[in-house]
Each structure stands twice: as C-alpha cells, then as structure tokens.
Amino acid sequence: MTAESSRLGDIVRSHLGSERAVVALRRYFGLEGGAPYTGARFEHLGGGGDRGGVADVVTAEDLVAVQMLSVTVPPKAALELLEGERGTLLSELLTRIPADADMAEVDAAELDTGSAADQAWKLLRGADDVGWVKAGKLLARKRPRLIPVYDNVVKCLLGRPPAFWLPLHAALRADNHALHHTLLDLRKRAGIPETVSALRVCDIVLWMAHEQDHKARRCAGHGTLPV
C-alpha cells in the first residue's frame, strides 16, 4: 500500500471509530427523530440506478437522483445522456464495468487510468457543464458498490489528495479488507438498509463530519482525476 493510501485510510478510520459515526448515519437517514437528508434517497430512488434493465443506461430517474446530492445535470448534457451519442457511448462503457462487486473485491485495474470506469468518468466530465463532482455522482448512481460519491467536502476533509479511487481501493483491501468490513459493521450498527453500499457509508460519515466546517471556512476544492 502506498503512503497516500495509508494516509487516506488513517483519516477514514479516524472518523469511523466513534459513536458519532453511528449517530451521523442515523441522522442522515432520519432514524434519530428528524427528517432524513435528501441524499438518503440517492441510491434508492426508482429502485436504484444499478437495478436490472437499466444498469447500463442513464435514465431520467438517475438525473433526478443526483439532485438529491445537491447537483444538477444541465439540460444539454441531460439530453445527450438520455437521447444522444454520449449516452450510447456511456452505455457501452457501463457494460464493461462490474455492477455486482464492491470496490474492495475488484482488482485495481478496474479503476485505473484507461479502465472502462475511468473512461466513463472522463466521458461524463466532458459533457457541457458536468465537472468531476457531477460525473462521479452519476457513476456512483450506476455503480454504487464500485464507484464512490466524492465531492469538495470530502476531498477537503481528506486533505485534497491528488487521486482518490485507487488510494481508497488500496485502503479498503489492506489487512484482509479490514476497512471494508468496518464499514459494513457500521452500517449494521446504525440500522440502515443493506442496500446502502460500504462506499456510501464511508462517504456519508466523512461528509457529515466536515460539511458544517467546510461551509464556515469556505474551503476551496479543486478538480482532480479520481484514480
């Protein structure tokens, strides 16, 4: 494991080990008495973006789902994905990206530069006004077990690493997948559905840990490749 993966893993583990992580998850999903965050519907809206029959195509429900995470795909890009060549190209790439495997289970080659996942991310990012955050959230909707939700809040908390997918992948696989199992255990302790992926548990805990401070400090995130 690289130094970057080790550092990232240490940061993630530091936020998973306390009871605050359980409370944060329960708050996010509305299990602490308050209303759930809109993002609690991201992976479940319409039955999920990876369900049979639609796993390899972008649907209108996917575009609504990413709005639950406070981003909007602009009209031109949306039409390209729903009815245009960009959508056709993305569908071809999605057929080559595993839909039934967790990030911790796949080889790094599935996420590395030049992989179908990397090509799909770049294809989405190249659409009109679709940057790295929106591209990542769309891919996470289609492959929630394999591709993490990643935005400026989490990036800032992690120290703005130059890459994310591969260091996270290495951290999840280290020590016989210990971090991956920690996330699954945290999901169980919080009492949230098993349909919420380990990656999503990780994202929610990290986002909840820094979201308020990020706003208060006006932290500035910068674009980066995910690998």
Count CB-CB contacts under 10 A for residue 168: 25
Q: What is the mean pLDDT of residues 1-23?
A: 89
Distance CA 48, CA 45 (A): 6
Dihedral (Cα; 36, 141, 127, 54), 10-degree rounding: -130
Distance CA 112, CA 86 (A): 22
pLDDT single digits (tens) 189-225 = 999 999 999 999 999 999 999 988 887 776 654 444 4
Place of tokens 């569908």: 91
Picking from 37, 13, 38, the residue whose alpha carbon sits closest to that of residue 27 is 37
Q: Quick check: 200 and 144 in contact, CB under 8 A?
A: yes
Is residue 5 pLDDT above 90, yes or no? no
- Which pLDDT score is estimated for 18? 80
Q: Quick check: 147 and 99 in contact, CB under 8 A?
A: no
Q: Would the pTM of this model clear 0.75, i.e. be above it? A: yes
pLDDT single digits (tens) 156-177 = 999 999 999 999 999 999 999 9
For a pLDDT cut of 70, what percent of the chain falls above it? 96
pLDDT single digits (tens) 46-74 = 999 999 999 999 999 999 999 999 999 99
Distance CA 202, CA 175 (A): 18
List all residues 6 or more positions away from 176 whose beta carbon is below 8 Å from its beta carbon.
none
Lookup: tokens for 145: 């077990």
